[in-house]
């Protein structure tokens, strides 16, 4: 085991990935080095409670850590994220190696806590309190060494005030807290100065940005315009909005901001009005369809993806068919779909009329089969007229065949992975290149160059 080394294991959403990347940078700024699990002095498991059996998965990971580090009993193990927020100090008794528990807000204090724990071997610390305002974090991207990735993720808010019946985010990540627009813009400028060309804004409910007591008077649409005006920005994206909060200014931004990519992840969850009401989503199918129509009027080529839950308590076959009908009406290019499962603390855990597992599984299979059709149709449409597109290259492609020109992978403005052969011996990362789409695969596209990289 090398002194001042760390290893981070991450489960869950892009926000968790972002948190783990920040924690790694903060530890690096304090003199730590990243290392393989078997060589690390500090191991942090960043957890997610959205998917099924989250505690079981975390305990499995902790068991693996215990086995791998059996020869190093002094390894410091920390648990962070949503499951840490839920179970708290119970982790201290569940796994003897765990000496740090940091919840969703508490992770900002994890670097300092880790240093203290290394100095005081008998100490255990829990960072579980929710803050009333967004706490700015140390050692952000602006102080990290080395070049930036071509795509940068910027957190603009934390938590959620919606309390959907199936969701525990308000309990694990707290109530909504917006960052100051000044801090966000400073971070955006920093990553652009270091070479990023695309920025993706993150939050549990991004388009409610500024609608809480932490807000500084800047609306989400205003924030988009301020970021879009920054020199060096080529592309702007965001996840995840709530349909009920998509106002006219948010929609107009797709027509008025060329940097804003024509791709939006818009969670539907269910197509039945009865199920939507039971979920406490605060919109109905008609309102959602009107939103889709308005978005396509503003940006006709906009590509929509979504989240869908099947087997919600009380869901009938007719309710499920309504979800399939909405999928067809919205022509989603892709979706994340899940079988409903109870989450302790969420209101729906108390609902009667749970759907039998075999029924829910059958519905999920039918839904995903329809999504495969819709996705294939959307990708095939990219071949119409040998469409040209601009890729932001992210790295070498795994699809390079032996004896062929090296292939690189990038994403087009719709967020689709595209593979294109490019000259060998050059690092194309971060370049923009014009391509002509030649073939549609199941989840990606193949292309050839239509011009030289910019």
Domain assignment present for 454: no
Which of 127, 155, 189 is the C-terminal boundary of a domain? Answer: 127
Q: Assign 13 a pLDDT band (cuts: 50, 70, 90).
A: confident
- Distance between CA atoms of residues 5 and 32, nearest Å: 5
Domain that holds residue 357: 141-381
Reported as a single tens digit per residue, the pLDDT across 145-160 is 444 689 999 999 988 9
335 and 215 belong to one structural domain? yes
Write down the pTM of the prediction: 0.85
Q: What is the pLDDT of residues 383-406, one digit of tens each?
A: 875 678 899 999 998 866 555 678
Task: Point out the domain boundary residue: 127, 152, 176.
Answer: 127
Alpha-carbon distance 93 to 209, whole Å? 38
Interval 287-318: pLDDT, tens? 999 999 999 999 999 999 999 999 999 999 99
Same domain, 204 and 274: yes
pLDDT, tens digit (0-9, with 9 covering 90-100), for 178-209: 999 999 999 999 999 999 999 999 998 999 99
Question: What is the rounded distance in angstroms from the CA atom of residue 152 to the CA atom of residue 185?
Answer: 13
Q: Hunting for tokens 């938590």 — which residue is that?
A: 159
- For residue 27, the domain's CATH number is 3.40.50.12160
153 shares a domain with 284:
yes
Check residues 403 and 125 and name the one with the higher pLDDT: 125
The answer to whether 246 and 293 have CB atoms below 8 angstroms apart is no
The answer as to whether 59 is a domain residue is: yes
* 353-356: Cβ within 8 A, 24+ apart: 353/313, 353/314, 354/313, 355/311, 355/312, 355/313, 355/315
Which of 249-258, 317-326, 340-349 has the weakest average pLDDT?
340-349
What pLDDT score was predicted for residue 220?
97
The answer as to whether 84 is a domain residue is: yes
Tell me: do 208 and 357 sit in the same domain.
yes
Q: Which two tokens stand for residue 167?
A: 């969701």
Model confidence pLDDT, tens digit, residues 415-447: 999 999 998 888 999 999 999 999 998 889 999
Q: Residue 433 maps to which CATH number?
A: 2.40.50
Q: How many domains does the chain have?
A: 3
Tokens of residue 140, six digits: 């952000």
Residue 85 has pLDDT above 80, yes or no: yes
Mean pLDDT across 27-55: 86
Q: What is the DSSP letter of 355?
A: P
In a domain, 32, yes or no: yes
79 and 23 share a domain? yes
Q: Which of 77-81, 364-368, 381-385 has the highest mean pLDDT?
A: 364-368
Residue 136 lies in a domain: no
Q: Is the pLDDT of residue 411 over 80?
A: yes
- Count how many Cα atoms sit within 13 Å of the Cα of residue 240 in the half-sphere of its side chain: 15
Higher local confidence (pLDDT), 24 or 2: 24
Contact 51, 167 (CB under 8 A): no
Specify whether 183 is located in the same domain as 331: yes
pLDDT of residue 287: 98
Residue 141 has pLDDT above 60, yes or no: no
In a domain, 132, yes or no: no
């Amino acid at each position: 085991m090398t002194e001042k080394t760390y290893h981070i294991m991450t489960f869950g959403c892009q926000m968790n990935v972002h948190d783990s990347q920040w924690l790694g940078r903060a530890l690096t700024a304090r003199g730590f080095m990243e290392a393989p699990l078997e060589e690390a002095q500090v191991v942090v498991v960043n957890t997610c409670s959205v998917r099924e059996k989250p505690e079981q998965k975390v305990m499995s990971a902790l068991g693996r850590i215990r086995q791998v580090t059996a020869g190093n009993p002094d390894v410091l193990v920390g648990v962070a994220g949503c499951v840490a927020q839920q179970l708290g100090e119970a982790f201290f008794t569940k796994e003897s190696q765990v000496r740090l528990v940091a919840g969703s807000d508490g992770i900002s204090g994890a670097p300092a806590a880790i240093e203290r724990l290394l100095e005081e071997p008998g100490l255990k610390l829990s960072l579980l309190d929710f803050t009333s305002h967004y706490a700015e974090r140390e050692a952000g991207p602006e102080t990290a060494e080395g070049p930036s990735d071509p795509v940068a993720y910027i957190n603009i808010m934390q938590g959620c005030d919606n309390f959907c019946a199936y969701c525990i985010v308000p309990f694990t990540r707290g109530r909504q807290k917006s960052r100051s627009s000044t801090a966000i813009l400073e971070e955006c400028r920093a990553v652009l100065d270091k070479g990023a060309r695309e920025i993706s804004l993150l939050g549990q409910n991004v388009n409610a940005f500024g609608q809480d007591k932490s807000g500084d008077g800047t609306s989400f649409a205003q924030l988009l315009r301020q970021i879009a005006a920054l020199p060096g920005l080529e592309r702007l994206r965001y996840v995840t909005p709530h349909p009920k909060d998509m106002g006219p200014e948010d929609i107009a931004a797709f027509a008025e901001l060329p940097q804003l990519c024509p791709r939006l992840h818009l969670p539907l969850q269910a197509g039945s009005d009865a199920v939507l009401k039971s979920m406490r989503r605060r919109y109905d199918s008609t309102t959602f369809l009107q939103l889709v129509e308005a978005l396509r009027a503003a940006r006709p080529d906009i590509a929509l993806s979504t989240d869908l839950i099947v087997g919600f308590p009380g869901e009938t076959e007719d309710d499920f068919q309504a979800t399939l009908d909405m999928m067809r009406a919205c022509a989603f290019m892709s979706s994340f779909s899940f079988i409903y499962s109870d989450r302790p603390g969420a209101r729906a855990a108390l609902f009667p009329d749970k759907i039998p597992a075999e029924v829910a599984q059958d519905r999920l299979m039918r839904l995903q089969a329809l999504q495969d059709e819709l996705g294939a149709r959307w990708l095939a449409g990219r071949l119409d007229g040998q469409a040209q597109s601009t890729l932001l290259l992210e790295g070498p492609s795994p699809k390079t065949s032996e004896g062929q020109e090296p292939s690189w992978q990038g994403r087009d403005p719709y967020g689709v992975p595209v593979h294109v052969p490019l000259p060998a011996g050059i690092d194309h990362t971060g370049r923009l290149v014009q391509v002509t789409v030649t073939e549609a695969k199941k989840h990606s596209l193949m292309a050839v160059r239509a011009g030289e990289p910019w």
